[in-house]
């Protein structure tokens, strides 16, 4: 049956639960009208009228680019030099990193994460991920013929450093190398952001563990530019300066969320290490991988990022700040009501989603289905329900936690 295709790989088709629920929600909207449906499935930023946000500062700049800029190939497989430089500047901002670095342009944050997995791990090795996580990490590991092992994200309301350490130690003992994903700040789907102290503990532990083999941390910062305190959002990166020469960090940056330009497929992998040769070794593999897969990323998307974040930086920041504030208002409404009625959710600090805490798998499925029956559409994740407040108006957020709690109590 599978004779025409790769043998040594998982052949199961993608199970796209999100797509299924999104289409159920859309059918319900078509039948009953959007005012009667709560569609908390969409993981992109929507305005108060229910329209996708496409920032004017971003797309007016894009539209002003010369057609030839849009037509052209990028100048290199690893991205245009000015783009690579500006991604580094944007990612670290005022943080002074005492580390060697390189940036590889990638198609979105997805390209940065998948290229890191593929070029750091050998087939059959294990990628470490959080137990509640963006589903694609697992798909990316699978296509690289790697396994995944999860650490528990939380210990009460804090990052579970004990579980992180245990998981890393186990994997290190097995394969003599660790690649662990930390999706921070604004973790998808819980909205947790680690403290600087938690990051210090992570890096100190990586240094210790690196006596047994190389340690690579993949910090996925897809939602960083929706931090509520943007000026302090990069403070944790100071912890990176503590790492020794057996530790490497790859920061996966995405223009999709930062610029609301999901479809322009632009992002970057920022490689950080003490020694230039170590940075260069991963850079070479990533560049070859780019050449052998997507070749190069859209020239105009790169040029646009550079222009928006330099020439139009202040207007762009001001325009985006309005939406960050909107997100904050939506989440405050939802959280206040959830606290009032005792609806449990994972520790939320900032970001696109709040995730309800439901640890019993059977109850989780029944709760999710019962909400759908009441026209509340959400996404079921491991041990929880993801509520995409990024795409719900403040009005729709009002009373939502109460309704959810009533449904949960009725089960």
Q: Give, in degrees to the nearest 5, the angle at Cα 220 between 215 and 222.
A: 170
Min dist CB 8 to ligand PLP, Å, is 26
Contact map string, positions 97 to 126, toward ligand PLP, x by CB under 6 A: -----------xxx----------------
Query: Applying CB under 6 A, which of residues 28, 150, 202, 222 lies at the interface with ligand PLP?
Result: 222
Alpha-helical runs (H) found in 39-189: 56-63, 67-71, 81-92, 108-120, 136-143, 161-175
Phi, psi (deg, nearest 5) at residue 180: -125, 135
Give the 3-state secondary structure of 336-398. Answer: HHHHHHCCCECCCCCCCEEEEECCCHHHHHHHHHHHHHCCEECEEECCEEEEEHHHCCHHHHC
Min dist CB 89 to ligand PLP, Å, is 19
Query: Applying CB under 6 A, which of residues 160, 188, 355, 378 lies at the interface with ligand PLP?
Result: 188
42 or 209: CB nearest ligand PLP: 42
Query: Applying CB under 6 A, which of residues 78, 183, 210, 304 lies at the interface with ligand PLP?
Result: 183
Q: Contacts with ligand PLP: how many residues (CB under 6 A)?
A: 13
14 or 30: CB nearest ligand PLP: 14
Min dist CB 202 to ligand PLP, Å, is 18
Min dist CB 386 to ligand PLP, Å, is 11
Min dist CB 111 to ligand PLP, Å, is 7
Contacts with 271 (C-beta within 8 Å, 6 or more apart), sequence order: 101, 102, 103, 104, 248, 249, 250, 279, 282, 283, 286
Token pair 């994903």 is at which residue? 181
108 or 214: CB nearest ligand PLP: 108
Q: How far apart are CA 213 and CA 224, in angstroms?
A: 30
DSSP conformation class of 11: -
Query: Applying CB under 6 A, which of residues 184, 198, 219, 220 lies at the interface with ligand PLP?
Result: 220
127 or 209: CB nearest ligand PLP: 127
Half-sphere exposure of 337 (CA within 13 A, CB side): 19
221 or 400: CB nearest ligand PLP: 221
Q: How far apart are CA 59 and CA 57, in angstroms?
A: 6
Min dist CB 37 to ligand PLP, Å, is 23
Min dist CB 348 to ligand PLP, Å, is 15
115 or 246: CB nearest ligand PLP: 115
- Closest C-alpha to 105, from 272, 295, 277: 295
Q: Find the binding residues for ligand PLP in span 128-167 (CB under 6 A).
A: 134
Per-residue tokens: 165 = 């350490």
Min dist CB 44 to ligand PLP, Å, is 9
Q: Give, in degrees to the nearest 5, the angle at Cα 307 between 304 and 311.
A: 160
Contact map string, positions 261 to 280, toward ligand PLP, x by CB under 6 A: -x----x-------------
Token pair 């004779």 is at which residue? 3
Where are any strands of DSSP class E within 157-305? 158-159, 178-182, 215-220, 247-254, 267-273
Closest residue to ligand PLP in the complex (CB): 108
Residues that bind ligand PLP (CB under 6 A): 43, 108-110, 134, 183, 188, 220, 222, 254, 256, 262, 267
């Amino acid at each position: 049956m599978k004779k025409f295709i790769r043998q040594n790989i998982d052949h199961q088709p993608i199970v796209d639960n999100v797509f299924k629920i999104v289409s159920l929600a859309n059918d319900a909207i078509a039948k009953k009208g959007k005012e009667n449906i709560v569609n908390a499935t969409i993981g992109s930023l929507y305005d108060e009228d229910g329209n996708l946000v496409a920032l004017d500062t971003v797309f007016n700049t894009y539209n002003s680019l010369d057609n030839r800029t849009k037509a052209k190939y990028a100048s290199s497989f690893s991205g245009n030099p000015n783009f690579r430089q500006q991604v580094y500047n944007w990612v670290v901002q005022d943080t002074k990193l005492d580390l060697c670095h390189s940036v590889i342009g990638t198609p979105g944050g997805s390209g940065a994460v998948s290229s890191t997995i593929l070029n750091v791990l050998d087939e059959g090795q294990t990628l470490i991920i959080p137990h509640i996580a963006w589903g694609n990490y697992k798909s990316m590991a699978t296509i690289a013929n790697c396994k995944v092992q999860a650490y528990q994200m939380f210990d009460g309301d804090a990052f579970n450093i004990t579980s992180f350490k245990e998981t890393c130690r186990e994997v290190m003992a097995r394969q003599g190398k660790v690649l662990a994903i930390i999706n921070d700040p604004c973790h998808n789907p819980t909205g947790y952001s680690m403290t600087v102290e938690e990051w210090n503990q992570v890096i100190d532990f990586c240094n210790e563990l690196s006596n047994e083999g190389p340690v690579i941390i993949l910090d996925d910062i897809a939602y960083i530019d929706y931090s509520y305190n943007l000026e302090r959002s990069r403070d944790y990166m100071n912890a990176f300066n503590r790492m020794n020469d057996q530790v490497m960090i790859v920061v996966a940056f995405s223009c999709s969320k930062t610029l609301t330009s999901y479809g322009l497929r632009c992002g970057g992998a920022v490689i950080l290490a003490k020694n230039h040769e170590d940075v260069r070794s991963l850079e070479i593999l990533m560049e070859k991988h780019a050449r052998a897969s997507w070749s190069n990323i859209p020239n105009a998307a790169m040029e646009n990022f550079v222009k928006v974040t330099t020439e139009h930086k202040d207007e762009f920041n001001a325009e985006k700040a309005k939406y960050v504030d909107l997100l904050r208002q939506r989440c405050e409404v939802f959280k206040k009501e959830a606290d009032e009625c005792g609806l449990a959710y994972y520790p939320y600090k900032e970001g696109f989603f709040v995730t309800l805490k439901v640890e019993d798998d059977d109850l989780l499925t029944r709760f999710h289905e019962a909400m759908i029956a009441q026209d509340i559409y959400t996404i079921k994740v491991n041990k929880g329900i993801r509520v995409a407040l990024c795409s719900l108006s403040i009005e729709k957020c009002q009373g939502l936690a109460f309704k959810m709690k009533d449904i949960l109590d009725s089960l």
